[in-house]
Structure 1
Amino acid sequence: MKRKTYLKKIRLANDLMFYIYTHIESDINLDELAASMEIDKFYLHKIFKEVFGRNIYESIKSIRLQKASNLLLTNRYSTISQVANECGYSSQTSFIRAFKERFGMTPKAWRKGGYVAYSNRLIENQTIIQASTGLFEAMEPTIVKQPPLYAYYIRDRGYDEGIKRSWQKIQTLIYAHDLADYQLISLFHDNPAITSLSECHHVAAIATAKESEEINLPKFKIAGGVYAIFKITGKKPDLLKFIQWVYHAWLPKSGYETTTKPPYAIYHKNHHLSDDGVFEMDFYLSITL
């Protein structure tokens, strides 16, 4: 396969995945979407599965349920019906059926504490989270209104060595283009306390001061809005445990709710690229009242 063809496939698949994540609350019509992208729908299905190893409909269902599982915990003033609508379900009945199939309990049981046992069972098999000694209870965020960010990115499915390789590719891009004015950004689509690390999606991104047609990576917009910013330093296990704490402890007690926008981090020091494995970052969490 020619490199140009390969890059085109990667870009199309990532554009579609980005669209799904940013329109998860809507009825995603693949016929209309394929037409707008000027591509055959069946070819779009083929490319997506080739790149991500899962068909489009399975991905939409998985993303909706993962978003819903978080919102049920963090948005305590939203009804189950409102959470279902926010995650793209027009029928509460179909949402409850799909949720029970995925998590083994109803949304009501999940919200009443069922998530604790589910999360504990999952974390027992995720030893990297258990390795953290980080304490976050005293952390207090700053609330800001953040503008949109435009970035080039590489998407990975699974929190494994693939993420480090993606960051090394971005580092290679920085050296090859002599970039001096940029930000390194991670997007965290999933909560590792309720989603297996092998299923979590991660985005490694670079926001540059100037656009360049020579950068052969897909580009997207990180949504602006009101965010809570946490300043955190640590190692990889601390980051995963911190994300768990934000969703399961800080948000429910904070008086805020979150949205379907993924949280992201801007690095001052990237642990995937540092010799000591230490990160320094500002972690941005979308919030609303």
Structure 2
Amino acid sequence: MKAALRTYHARMQRVLDHIDRHLDGDLDLETLSRVAAFSKFHFHRQFAATFGLSVHRYVQLARMRRASRQLAWNDAESVTDIAMDAGYDAPDAFARAFRQRFGQSPSSFRKSPDWAPWFAAFGPLDNARNNLMQINFTPDDVTIRDVPPTPVAIMEHRGDRATLGATIERFKAWCKAASLSPETGRSSFMVFRSERCPANPADYSMDLCVGTDQPIEVNDEGMKAGVIPGGRCAVLRYPGNTNNLEPAALYLYRDWLPDSGEEARDFPIYCQRRLSPIAEMPAHEVVVELFLPLK
């Protein structure tokens, strides 16, 4: 039964990957049901039951998330072109929908993004992917690896996760100015020093890191030099982007670690993203590895 469930969810994963690759294309029910190899008469109900939102709503949110990222990080593209890419016939309609969702006009968001409403707006999109993550892990997905120590530049985020987006934006700007953006082939890391949702939101804590051995000068952004320690780690590889690795971490701590006979080392769990710590790329182009340091 478990194997059948994994196969079912693998078919649904194909649908999400297809949507990521074809946001500019025709993503109607008939097309997506063919991708999943499900009956078109039942697919919309199967999708909603699996992900908690309709196909139309998922596609709409995915296109709007791409549009908001283009606004924040691509000054060369006009608001009109971004609106058209998001499936809107006119910039005015896009602006109304954008303001309703984020509380800012597209031009205002481009100048000074308010990330708290952004995170809240895309919660359903992240939850949809997390619904697959929560049941798809098995011991075969975890490998034990000896990793070398990695010198990094660190930007700390301390405080409510609702403000994390602003920290990420500063981190991205610093990396670009220091020629350490993903295009240079640098590794990027997130070190999770607290729960995703601590009882007191002010206790949320994580580090944004980029691999570099160059000297880090004192600056207004609060960057500092550090090291991701080497040693044995349990590594859970997750192909596809997610803004919530909590289900993967929960699997490692709750299921894999007790059965493995291993003991965790005194360093927080962390992830490495192949392309970017900010998830600018489509989900199918991102590979995330979650590292649990072991003794």
TM-score normalised per structure 1: 0.50
Structure of higher CA gyration radius: 2
